[in-house]
Amino acid sequence: MLVDLYDTGLDEFIFNLVTQDKESRDLNNEEKIEVAGKEKQEWNALFKLDKYARASKRYEKYIEYDSSFSEDEKKQSKQPKFSCNLNNAACKLKLKDYKEAAKLCTKVLELDSKAV
């Protein structure tokens, strides 16, 4: 079970954000989108293990990538960005950072006004 693995100290191995040899800053935009898609399940597992601060940092890292994306890449990353903002808002709520959670929910609504 994943929780048992976590308890044995293997969490750093399991939740390694970038599984490639490159540092995240060295990834091109296409690779950033690809890595986020693959790693999202691990970020969600952090949340399920009550590791809200760590999960939040992972979501924030992906959201930061967006600033370097072209318009086409921004369109391609809209759904993952939506999910990351929404999941990060849930992390902030669990961390009792209500102000930041509200900001993130506003960003979610800017991405999709029907997400109510």
Domain residue spans in the chain? 2-111
40 close to 80: Cβ distance less than 8 angstroms = yes
Using the predicted structure, report yes or no on whether residue 97 has a pLDDT greater than 80. Answer: yes
Using the predicted structure, report yes or no on whether residue 41 has a pLDDT greater than 60. Answer: yes
- The class that CATH gives domain 2-111 is mainly alpha
Convert the pLDDT of each residue in 81-90 to its tens digit.
888 999 999 9
Kindly tell me the burial class for residue 114, based on how many C-beta atoms sit within 10 Å of its own C-beta (0-12, 13-18, 19 or more). exposed
The mean pLDDT of the chain is 78
Share of the chain above pLDDT 70, in %: 78
Using the predicted structure, report yes or no on whether residue 10 has a pLDDT greater than 50. Answer: no
What does the pLDDT read at residue 66?
Answer: 72
